[in-house]
Chain A
Amino acid sequence: DAGVTQSPTHLIKTRGQQVTLRCSPKSGHDTVSWYQQALGQGPQFIFQYYEEEERQRGNFPDRFSGHQFPNYSSELNVNALLLGDSALYLCASRDRGAYEQYFGPGTRLTVT
């Protein structure tokens, strides 16, 4: 049973560019959340998707957007990248009726 997977592992982008990160949830999970973890900090909630819609959103600007596909996989898009967007981006999945989240290994984004 595959756990949560994320791609790519690492990514380097230039300020002003756009980036797309991908996540496949654990088998049987229908809810996907995205978190940003800056260096030395705890993860900060970006947003959550289920039934292909954004259901909750944290305190992040509209430059951060997402999508969930019918197979429950998800994408995180960040436009107009800033240096401050450099972070580890974590995807977490769960069954909507459960409260435990399972995390992927993350994508390390570096903005230069």
Chain B
Amino acid sequence: AQTVTQSQPEMSVQEAETVTLSCTYDTSENNYYLFWYKQPPSRQMILVIRQEAYKQQNATENRFSVNFQKAAKSFSLKISDSQLGDTAMYFCAFMKHGAGNQFYFGTGTSLTVIP
């Protein structure tokens, strides 16, 4: 079975600063995908960034980037130039390669951006 661990229940960051959210996972699979989803108070889960395990290059989407360490099974999210709209729950998720596979989510990190 796959497990995803987010060890930081809550974090805060000053507006315009940088913050890093941690995620580790446990799997025996070699091919898989990793995701970070954002869930604001509106409850809508929004995809922030994704990473294919076979790619060594870390994914980047504007102010969001990841540090993917496959051997260490670590997948952290870095948010640069934090904005008030980044305040939300952030979930790390894992999916095995192959059509139709389910997502495994961590317990989430509540991020607050302080003005």
Which chain A residues have a beta carbon within 8 Å of chain B's beta carbons? 31, 33, 35, 40-45, 48, 50, 55-56, 58, 88, 90, 92, 96-97, 99-106, 108
Q: Is the CB of A48 within 8 A of B43?
A: no
A100 touches B47 (CB 8 A): yes
A53 to B39, CA, bound (A): 29
Bin chain B's interface residue count.
Answer: 20 to 34
A102 / chain B contacts, CB cutoff of 8 Å? 47
Do B42 and A48 touch across chains, with their CB atoms under 8 A apart?
no
Q: Known: A42-B105, A48-B100. Contact between A99 and B95, CB under 8 A?
A: yes
> What are the 3 closest A-B residue pairs judged by CB atoms, nearest first?
A42-B105, A103-B45, A45-B102
Give CA–CA (A50, B102) in the complex, Å.
13
| Complex contacts, B42 vs chain A, CB 8 Å | 105
Q: Is the CB of B43 within 8 A of A31?
A: no
How near does chain B come to A14, taking the closest CB pair, in angstroms? 24
Segment 62-115 of B: residues with Cβ below 8 Å from A: 91, 93, 95, 97, 99-108
